[in-house]
Amino acid sequence: MVSRIEKSGLDLSDTAETDIIKLLKAAGYESPTAPRLYTLTRLLLIFVLPAVYLFFALGGTEAPSLLRIYFTCALLAIAGIYAPNLFVRYKAEKRRREVVNGFPDCLDLMLVCVEAGLGLEAALDRVGREMAMSHPRISRMLIETTLLMRAGANREDAIRKLGERAGVDEIRSFATLLIQSDKLGTSLATTLRVYSSEMREARRLRAEEKAHRLPVLISVPLVVFMLPTMIGVLTLPAIVVAVREVIPSMTGN
């Protein structure tokens, strides 16, 4: 479909295509045609959303004013431009959270494999197969790295591509640590144990931050919904007394 549209004369490439490719890969869309499909979706939504509104608005018994149609169509066109971007960013952030929260478990399993005598390639393969059900995203990344090593790629390049493909700072740091440990000949088990402990501590701090932020978030609906009700309950008896006794006595009735 994309090829036919581009052959017809409509160019679906974007000036910021490199950033779009990185964003789509972070969200899990790794197809070569994903950037062009993303651009095509945005172009279609610019026209489809206003067209749907016009279909329902003009098909009713009373047609809206021209000014209302203009502003509504403009807002829907803007929403059509930004809605795919927000959706992709949401998926990328959700995927990043899943990877970050599940990676300490991956490190613990890898540490067990290394201490049991497995090499780095065998440990990555074993952990990737073990985590296929619990953390499928991490499992797929580890299996792809193992396949690159078995296909003849350099170990350093394969590990570096693991960090680039993940799109997460923690995994990039982990890939750098593995490369340095492999070059300097330091203990891989010690590296995995220290980094796993650091990632678990960071996960605990993120959970505490969310817990401390919760009372602030709860205070907003409490103020909006409960405070007016409480004020009404407390002031209503005084208002009734004022209407029945104070105001008539002041006016002489």
CA-CA-CA-CA dihedral for 106, 112, 114, 116, to nearest 10: -150
Q: What pLDDT is attached to residue 142?
A: 86
Burial class for 111, CB neighbours closer than 10 Å (0-12, 13-18, 19+): buried
Q: Which domains does the chain have, with CATH numbers?
A: 2-94 (no CATH), 98-205 (1.20.81)
Give CA–CA dist 138/132, Å, rounded. 8
Give CA–CA dist 64/57, Å, rounded. 7
135 vs 252, higher pLDDT: 135
Residue 144 has pLDDT above 80, yes or no: yes
Give CA–CA dist 99/168, Å, rounded. 8
Residue 3 has pLDDT above 80, yes or no: no
- Residue type for position 22: K
Q: What percent of the chain is modeled with pLDDT above 70?
A: 92
CA-CA-CA-CA dihedral for 132, 176, 145, 140, to nearest 10: 30
Q: What pLDDT is attached to residue 159?
A: 83
- Residue type for position 47: F
30-75 pLDDT per residue, tens: 777 788 888 888 888 888 888 888 888 777 677 777 888 888 888 9
Summarize the confidence of residues 98-123 as an average pLDDT.
Answer: 83
Reported confidence tier of residue 12, pLDDT bands at 50, 70, 90: low
DSSP state of 11: -
Q: What pLDDT is attached to residue 34?
A: 81
Q: What pLDDT is attached to residue 15?
A: 62
Summarize the confidence of residues 26-31 as an average pLDDT.
Answer: 78
In terms of residues, how long is the chain?
253
Kindly state the helix (H) or strand (E) to which residue 224 belongs, with its residue range: none
140 vs 5, higher pLDDT: 140
218-245 pLDDT per residue, tens: 888 888 888 888 888 888 888 888 888 8
Q: What pLDDT is attached to residue 192?
A: 82
Residue 10 has pLDDT above 70, yes or no: no
- 131 and 143 in contact (C-beta within 8 Å)? no
Give CA–CA dist 233/216, Å, rounded. 25
Give CA–CA dist 66/113, Å, rounded. 69
166 vs 218, higher pLDDT: 218
Mean pLDDT over each residue of the chain, to the nearest integer: 81
Residue 130 has pLDDT above 80, yes or no: yes
Cα Rg, the chain, nearest whole Å: 29
